[in-house]
Amino acid sequence: MTGRSWQPHFGPAWLAGGRVRFRIWSPGTERVELLLGDQALPMRKARDGTFSLVQPKVHPGARYQFLLDGDGPFPDPWSRWQPDGVHGASAVLAPLRRDLGHRPVPRGFCQATYELHLGTLTREGTYRAAIKELPRLQRLGVDTLQLMPVAEWPGRWNWGYDGAYFYAPAHAYGTPDDLRALVGAAHRQGLSIILDVVYNHLGPDGAYIHRFAPEFFTNRFKTPWGGAVDYSRPEVRRTVFESTRWWVQEYGFDGFRLDATHAIHDPSRTHILADVARSARRAYRSAYLVAEDHRNLRDLVSRHGLDAILADDFHHALRVLLLGERDHYFANYRGRPEEIARAIQEGWIHQGGRTGFGGPGTPTTGLAAQAFVFCLENHDQVGNRGAGHHLASLVTPAQYRAASCLLLLVPERVMLFQGQEFASSGSFLFFTDHNAELGRLVTEGRRREFRSFREYREHPERLRDPQSPETFQQSKMGHDEAQNNAWCLRLYRELLQLRTSDPVLRRPDRKRTRAWVEGEVIYMERRWGRERRLLAVTLKGQPGAAIPAGRVLLHSEERRFGGGGRPTLESPGAVLLA
């Protein structure tokens, strides 16, 4: 498939002979003019509220804007490239002249994703700079990279969830060609690469779709960020589902992480998520889609056609057990080993009852292990703490080793967050770079939000100001820690190698997995044919607990992993046996 064989309905599209068709949707506007060079060109309005114009001899990189009933100029909400940011003129992106390859996210054996933020992964914080990290990540043993959102957002730095455009990559990280180079380099390293996309809201600054088409949103549903995207409108649906096909075709992504799908409201007969999955797979048949959704709803996989769901129950129960946190969404977890065993056995803890967020939950019957993604931490669970500490700095090294063994040997999919592999003691904080007025509101809102956490009620000084440049700088990865904590890298590499090479552990089979608890010890037995593996883990220690009979394949207290050298369950530890 070439770049010209299919192009999105809205926005600039290349035609034969160097012509470009410009098309927008602005149903409440009577007159639209395209500003291209020194020309103001009237556009033709159709009955459905779209405006279009075919213009000859357009050069790649040409800047353009629009006047709406004489008001403006405004950039194109369907822009493919914003070289000067959300408020600057849009640019016509050169047509893609070659097919881009893909690498399927593994299915059929135990898979591991590495979540990263491009602005903090390296000192430079660019697409190109991230390429030099790829050999390290390939040696680590993950198979898939997950980029936090890169859709154009306001300011110099951002988590990415304030995106204002559906089709344009963030210029703060580099050019569209730089992004293609990163994706291509990942594929050459043997890594799949998926993109985090946000279809539940648009950011508060620079989203000019509000001016072009207020009908894009509805107040019939509410989200934490205001009115919801109105998926009852065909123009809205098309804008969104075609964007997934665009990212796959134009940049080579192998799939998507769909942000906060519980905040996507669509009463349509065919849910927008099903259309999103279908559209992505029109560009690449094996495109992989995983949803962030706290409702524990099997329909996301069984009905809407997604591959997996980020299953929070495992993380929440483990964190309550380790740290005793009971604030906010942790309140529905007891922090007992039995909860963790149930998550491993069944995928979710809360089924047919109330989830940690109060959702209904549905049974996991019939869902394979690969329908669930487990983690010890992610950008939310690290960054949505006032000090932004990684788990490794909040627990003992022995607990961290044991928890890491537990995570990386489950049959479900797993995800790591940047820095986790070397037990980072640094921070990943929430940071923004909004204008002064909006920035003040964000800072105040952050303070209100964290009043529900006891730690920040008692110590408000621990909550960092997201608008401070130091907050962003402190979130940069400390690569010197990888050398200082070589024991942790060694542990993660060996565990990830076991996930892909061991004849039992490499198979994501929930039916041949049994998890149970004796006292404080979690046991997980996995079988394949005549082979059997038994993992015994305790995160707090069990006085008098004996190591089960069997050949020890690995234990978390080996000296090469920074431990005392003797396998133990009497204090925090993990032992894997054949």
The residues annotated as belonging to the active site are 259, 292
Residue that has been written with the tokens 């665009």 in this structure: 246
The per-residue b/e assignment along 173-184, b for 16 or more CB within 10 angstroms, e otherwise, is bbbbebbbbbbb
Going by C-alpha positions, the residue among 8, 148, 173 that lies closest to residue 78 is: 8
Going by C-alpha positions, the residue among 21, 32, 49, 43 that lies closest to residue 236 is: 49
Give dist(CA 12, CA 90) in Å, integer. Answer: 10
Report whether 526 contacts 532 (CB < 8 A): yes
Report whether 574 contacts 406 (CB < 8 A): yes
| H or E stretch covering 337 | helix 337-346
Going by C-alpha positions, the residue among 275, 305, 303 that lies closest to residue 289 is: 305
3-state secondary structure 428-451: CCCCCCCCHHHHHHHHHHHHHHHH
Give dist(CA 272, CA 266) in Å, integer. Answer: 7
Residue that has been written with the tokens 């493919």 in this structure: 80
Per DSSP, the chain holds a count of helices (H) and strands (E) of 17, 24
**At 301, is the secondary structure helix, strand, or coil?**
helix
Q: How far is CA 423 from CA 403, 478, 491, in A?
A: 12, 11, 11
Give dist(CA 165, CA 176) in Å, integer. Answer: 14
DSSP annotation of 425: -
Radius of gyration, alpha carbons of the chain? 25
Neighbours of 22 (CB within 10 A): 25
Report whether 253 contacts 195 (CB < 8 A): yes
Give dist(CA 253, CA 179) in Å, integer. Answer: 10
DSSP-H helix ranges across 397-485: 397-408, 436-449, 454-458, 469-473, 480-484
DSSP-H helix ranges across 169-298: 176-188, 209-212, 234-251, 272-283
**71-74 and 63-68 beta bridge pairing:** antiparallel
Going by C-alpha positions, the residue among 232, 231, 135, 242 that lies closest to residue 197 is: 242
Report whether 103 contacts 187 (CB < 8 A): yes
